[in-house]
Amino acid sequence: MKNLIKLILILIFYGAIIKGQVLNNDFEEWVGETPTNWQTSNVTLIALPISKTTESHSGSFAAKGEVITSITGDELFLPVLTSVPTPEAFPVPRMISAVSMYYKFNSIGGDKLAINVMCFAGNDFVGSGGKVIESSNSAFSLITIPIEYVFPGIPNKCIIIIGAGHDDEEIGGHVGTYFIVDDISFDGITDVENELVNQPNQFILEQNFPNPFNPSTVINYNLIANDFINLSVYDILGNKVAELVNENKSAGNYSVKFDASDLSSGIYLYKLSSKNFTQTNKMMLVK
């Protein structure tokens, strides 16, 4: 009961601070074609897949991302919206439990909307969350992305990545697929005094974050016992393009950064294997 009362008091005291920390969360502020405190996949004079729209959940504006072609019509551009990764732009005074936002989504040809969140204590990755939306949604709906903490540390910044496209690199995306997002917020707090990073109870290869990504992403995996493991990346044809880990590891939670600066856009597979465990996930590189 004391812990419950303590948590309620903390929520009351910090609630206003936590809830309103995402700067320009309502996308009311823009500099030209770019929302303040956000980065986009726009290329000036060539293609603007991210734009300002008056079709908002609240206020005057929201952010719209749409799969489009360049002005010459010979190149496809996918919409990617990324928060500026600085403590000043996205301060997190304590551990958040989730990120919420209102969204609309129009999917064509199986295109998906991906929302990813990564939290850092300084430069150290501590937690993440993500969701993939496959179905169209014509009315604004609230979506909440829980944050799972896998490493110790109190985050002082979070990066939010929102993008749309198709799993098949040959397709990329379909012109006309679009999303609209508005009113993004950090929700809740975790009682830091009682926060523990639990020892994993199963082998897990998590979905990379961010995804889609450019040019780097983070891959997390959990081991329940000491083991010799291999973590490698393959192209869609099965050719190995990178070996990230190939050694004995103790039980625990691990995080590996994958830099794809030298690779072309497309779908890649990353595979974690040991003597008794194998798992493969897909990720999308968008340049």
Same domain, residue pair 54 and 74: yes
CATH of the domain at 14: 2.60.120.890
Name the token pair of 33. Answer: 């074609």
According to DSSP, the residues that pair with 63 across neighbouring strands are 52, 181
Question: How many Cβ atoms are within 10 Å of 131's Cβ, its own excluded?
Answer: 15
pLDDT of residue 12: 31
- 98 in a domain, yes or no? yes
- Percentage of the chain modeled with pLDDT above 70: 84
In a domain, 198, yes or no: no
Say how many domains are in the chain: 2
Range of lowest pLDDT (10-19, 63-72, 173-182, 217-226): 10-19
Residue 197 lies in a domain: no
Are residues 150 and 248 located together in one domain of the fold? no
Residue from 271, 132, 274 nearest 202 by CA: 274
In a domain, 171, yes or no: yes
81 and 12 in a common domain: yes
- Residue 223 belongs to domain spanning: 204-285
Query: Any idea what the Cα angle at residue 89 is, between residues 10 and 158, rounded to 5°?
Result: 65
pLDDT band, very low/low/confident/very high, at 72 (cuts 50, 70, 90): confident
Count how many Cα atoms sit within 13 Å of the Cα of residue 216 in the half-sphere of its side chain.
8
Q: Is residue 199 part of a domain?
A: no
Q: Are residues 141 and 273 in the same domain?
A: no
- Model confidence pTM above 0.85: no
**Do residue 69 and residue 146 come from a single domain?**
yes
User: Distance between CA atoms of 229 and 252, rounded to whole angstroms?
Assistant: 13
Among the candidates 168, 192, 216, a domain finishes at 192
For residue 93, is it within any domain? yes
Greatest mean pLDDT among 108-117, 165-174, 193-202 lies in 108-117
